[in-house]
């Protein structure tokens, strides 16, 4: 039974590899759109509350109805983009 399962696995892997190669040959993109996050709509407000009103992540999350993790991720993304913009200037 194991050899049959291995054969099926190899066939599936070959199909996936050839499908990816065909997609690249057509110069077609696949997968999740880069940079799309539903929480990005809240990003300016989260950053403003963090910087101007000096609220904690938990307070911002409660005020906007987001999770603390979402607030943390928004602030991390903002920190990395701000840091990159400063180093280029």
Domains parsed from the chain with CATH numbers:
2-29+37-88 (1.10.10)
Q: Name, in order, each residue with C-beta under 8 angstroms of 61's C-beta and a sequence gap of 6 or more.
A: 67, 68, 70, 71
Q: Which of 47, 51, 53, 48 minimizes the C-alpha distance to 72?
A: 47
pLDDT level of residue 87 (50, 70, 90 thresholds): low
**Quick one: pLDDT at residue 71?**
94
8-38: pLDDT as tens digits = 999 999 999 999 999 999 998 877 777 777 7
60-74: pLDDT as tens digits = 999 999 999 999 999
Q: Name, in order, each residue with C-beta under 8 angstroms of 64's C-beta and a sequence gap of 6 or more.
A: 42, 45, 46, 49, 71
**Quick one: pLDDT at residue 84?**
62
Phi, psi of 28 (to 5 degrees): -100, 140
């Amino acid at each position: 039974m194991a050899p049959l399962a291995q054969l099926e696995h190899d066939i599936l892997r070959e199909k996936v590899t050839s499908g990816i190669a065909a997609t690249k040959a057509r110069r077609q993109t696949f997968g999740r759109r880069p940079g799309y996050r539903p929480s990005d709509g809240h990003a300016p407000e989260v950053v403003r509350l963090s910087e101007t009103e000096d609220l904690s992540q938990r307070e911002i999350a409660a005020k906007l109805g987001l999770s603390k993790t979402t607030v943390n991720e928004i602030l991390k993304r903002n920190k990395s983009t701000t840091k990159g913009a400063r180093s280029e200037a």
